[in-house]
Copies of this chain bind each other. A is one copy, B any other.
Amino acid sequence: MIMKKAKAAIVGSSGYTGGELFRLLLQHPRVSITAVTSEKSTGQPITALFPNLTGFTELLCESLDPDKIAKKADVVFLALPHVTAQETAFRFHQLGIRVVDLSADYRLLDPAVYRQWYEHDHQYPDLLKIAVYGLPELHREKIKKSVFIANPGCYPTGAILGIAPLMKNGWIDPKSIIIDSKSGVSGAGRSPSLTYHYPEVNEGLMAYKIGTHRHTPEIEQELSELFGDKITVSFTPHLIPMNRGILTTIYAVAQKQVDVGQAHALYQEFYRNEPFVRLLPLGQFPNVRNVRGSNVCHIGVTLDPRTGRVIVVTAIDNLVKGAAGQAIQNMNLILGFEETEGLMLAGLFL
């Protein structure tokens, strides 16, 4: 029973997302990694960048040459900074290669919104039109038919999955949404800076980019589509002294007279067939440790009768469901594989 494997390339493999893609694809039964690119480490083994891969691969990093890579890849994962990704994505798309772009460049449907938040023009509005926002829980059918996926941001994944059932069903006051997120440090990437220097982070805790984080319009875009009208949210990210994980605490005023059991049932129904969303039993709430290294999203729901607010908590691994894992989930869908192929890994717990 020999099955021909799909060939995947990882472009921009020196960062955490690139490394995580490699780690996960290594154990994917239907994919082989044929190329990894890194401008700074061209010619070096990928194990020099990620010693955890020692003995698992002999691949060398190469310089990014889309023509060359297109010849040996069926699908390419772009783990590049935003703006930079715009053109590379376009090139690969033109070359007929399926693209999963993990940057922010093709997530915002409206180029004007992109310009406003990213302070750059979008050079490829036509490609932007065909890009699909790769959150399978909302857009599975579109993703399956697509060849170009804009992989969601880490914060939006946790936030949107937490709010979607309420929004879709009109349960909450759309003006009342507050999203308080707490992220591990790997979300900030692998470039050293004083802000992420170990002793500056450890035993510390802070909010940052209050009301101004670039993931805000992404959340608003998806919630607005679900709601059918424009939504504005308060979104505050916090930096937590841990490596992986995002916990998102969501507050919204209930518009319906509902009890906590009904709220829980709403989520159960909404996510009934989802392979990667786990609604926790009533009264239980997520902990990021339970999803570490895993592609699942844990959700807990309650309703505070004193204040009339629905409070939802979600947990994801920012590098897996928030990045590399979801990218592979999208790859599975666009290549016609089983959606869960290579991804049914339980969290590490510790």
* A178 CB, min distance to chain B CBs, angstroms: 5
Stretch in A76-84, A144-152, A164-172, A339-347 with 4+ CB within 8 Å of B: A339-347
Within 8 A of B (CB), among A87-115: none
Tell whether A245 pairs with B306 under 8 Å between CB atoms, given A54-B280, A298-B54. no
Give 26 A-B contacts (CB < 8 Å), ordered by A residue. Answer: A19-B349, A23-B348, A27-B346, A51-B290, A54-B280, A54-B296, A55-B278, A55-B296, A56-B346, A178-B178, A178-B251, A182-B182, A182-B238, A184-B199, A184-B205, A186-B350, A190-B197, A197-B197, A198-B200, A198-B201, A205-B242, A206-B247, A207-B300, A210-B313, A236-B249, A348-B348
10 more CB-based (< 8 A) A-B contacts, given A52-B292, A190-B194: A55-B278, A56-B346, A178-B178, A178-B309, A182-B205, A190-B197, A203-B288, A205-B245, A205-B287, A210-B313
Mask of A228-244 contacts with B, CB within 8 angstroms, 1/0: 00001110101011111
Question: How many angstroms from the CA of A103 to the CA of B336 in the assembled complex?
Answer: 46
Give A244's nearest chain B residue, CB to CB. Answer: B350
Contact indicator A307/B211 (Cβ below 8 Å): yes
Docked Cα-Cα span, A31 to B106, in Å, equals 42
Q: Which residues of B contact A10 (CB under 8 A)?
A: none
A182-B205, A203-B292, A206-B247 known; A347 vs B242 contact (CB < 8 Å): no
In the bound assembly, the distance between CA atoms of A298 and B207 in angstroms comes to 13
**Which of A190, A290, A300, A319 is most buried by chain B, counting CB atoms within 10 A of its CB?**
A290
Query: Chain B residues near A197 (CB, 8 Å)?
Result: 190, 192, 196-198
